[in-house]
Amino acid sequence: MYICICNNITDKQIEHAVHNDGICSMRDLCQQLGVASCCGQCHAEAAKVLEESLQQINQHPTAA
Ligand code: FES
């Protein structure tokens, strides 16, 4: 599902960045993928996906 229309970024790309690139904040996510760097409409949804991905890592640390 697309989260950031302006930059064509999906929830899977955000999850991948959290799990594989060590992204742990919206600031990192914006710098790495460009999420919320244009109109900003996706910020809340991107933050939600980020939070959920971080929770997955905390619940299953070896799966990260
Ligand atoms: S939808 Fe993400 S910056 Fe516009």
pLDDT digits (tens, 9 = 90+) for 23-40: 999 999 999 999 999 999
CATH number of residue 44's parent domain: 1.10.10.1100
Work out how many domains the chain is built from and give that number.
1
Q: Are 16 and 56 in contact (CB under 8 A)?
A: no
* Residue among 62, 39, 19, 57 nearest 29 (CA): 19
* 36 CB within 6 A, ligand 1: yes
Q: Are 50 and 18 in contact (CB under 8 A)?
A: yes
Q: pLDDT band for 62, please (50, 70, 90 cuts).
A: low
Q: pLDDT band for 63, please (50, 70, 90 cuts).
A: low
**Straight-line distance from the first to the last Cα atom of the chain, in angstroms, rounded to the nearest whole number:** 21
Q: Residue 35 CA: which ligand 1 atom is closest?
A: 2
* 29 CB within 6 A, ligand 1: no
- For residue 37, the enclosing domain spans 2-63
Q: Which of 1, 5, 13 to mutate to test the pocket of ligand 1 (most atoms within 8 A of CB)?
A: 5
